[in-house]
Amino acid sequence: MTSTPAPDAPQIAVIGGSGFYTFLDDAEQVEVDTPYGPPSAPVAIGTVEAAEGLRRVAFLPRHGMHHEFPAHMVSYRANLWALRSLGVRQVLAPCAVGGLQRALGPGTLVVPDQLIDRTSNRVQTYFDKGACHVSFADPYCPRLRTSLLSGVGADEKPVDGGAMVVIEGPRFSTRAESQWYGAQGWAVVNMTGHPEAVLARELALCYATVAVVTDYDAGVDADSSVSQAEVFAVFGEHMDMLRTSLRTVAGEVSLERGCPCADVLDGMDLPLVLP
């Protein structure tokens, strides 16, 4: 059983990806210390409209306020710990991805239902001792996925499902790597989805992502070759839509967690005390 946040705590958080550095208009910047060092930036706490009135929401830019931290240097453990210590129990995590299938071109929104870890040098657990094997068969909260599928997007709603393969970075994939990922039937490729998702699960947080396809990955066809400028440009084109949609989702999602995420640590003898 995990602790219950205070009634006035920001129980919903958004973690912003590349180019997504601000979210709330009325935000207070809160410095948070964690056992894993500081998070990527001070946590912004503000409000969004909800049925009960104004709901407090937290925001954290994954890469820092000025993209100081590339994907392989983000302090994922500090980021998730900081959010939970402030009362957050549900995390919406938009990100930029490359499309691995012809049907998933630039501008497509995807709400993945599976994750493949191809990183090689990242700390991916809070549990360095004891028998704490957390269930991760379904990496994303089913409630939050449903909320993102119905609440995000303008003219077109997101694609429901697909596997996101996460690579180490900071380089992009070779054509051979990209072709191999696509041949497995995987949908999109990204550099930040792991270990963020598994660390959220280890803290008994609800977590789901909406992915913005910014490019065809290098192996989709002979002409495709992703560049950093292309990624930032296409993601930037969708920023206003993402902010508006995620404010709506953050205000509408239920604070009652009728999903397995809250109870995932039940029965375990944890080697640490969760905030």
User: Where in the chain are the domains?
Assistant: 12-255
Mean pLDDT of the 183-211 span: 98
Confidence class of residue 153 from pLDDT cuts 50, 70 and 90?
Answer: confident
Is 60 exceeded by the pLDDT of residue 1?
no
Average model confidence (pLDDT) across the chain: 93
With tokens 């296409």, the residue in question is 234
Whether 117 is a known active-site residue: answer no
Reported as a single tens digit per residue, the pLDDT across 93-128 is 999 999 999 999 999 999 999 999 999 999 999 999
Q: Are 175 and 219 in contact (CB under 8 A)?
A: yes
Q: What is the structure's pLDDT at 210?
A: 97
The answer to whether 217 is a known catalytic residue is yes
Q: What is the 3-state secondary structure (H, E, C) of 153-214?
A: CCCCCCEECCEEEEECCCCCCCHHHHHHHHHCCCCEEECCHHHHHHHHHHCCCEEECCEEEE
Per-residue pLDDT of 24-40, as tens digits, reads 988 999 999 999 999 99
The confidence score (pLDDT) of residue 156 equals: 81
Over the stretch 221-245, which tens digit does the pLDDT of each residue have? 766 666 677 777 777 777 889 999 9
Dump pLDDT digits (tens) for 169-191.
Answer: 999 999 999 999 999 999 999 99
Model pLDDT, residue 18: 77
Kindly name the residue from 217, 221, 240, 263 that is annotated as catalytic: 217
Q: In terms of Cα–Cα distance, which of 184, 224, 94 is closest to 148?
A: 94
Return the pLDDT at 260. Answer: 96
In sequence order, what are the residues at sequence separation of 6 or more whose Cβ sits closer than 8 angstroms to the Cβ of residue 235? 17, 18, 19, 20, 96, 212, 214
pLDDT classification of 7: cutoffs 50, 70, 90: confident
Reference 195, options 83, 22, 112, 73; nearest CA is 73
12-255: what CATH class? alpha beta
- One of 8, 128, 215, 269 is an active-site residue; which one? 215
The pTM assigned to this predicted structure is: 0.94
Run of H or E residues at 12: strand 12-16
The pLDDT value recorded for residue 236 is: 73
Q: Find the angle CA(50)-CA(1)-CA(206) to the nearest 5 degrees.
A: 40
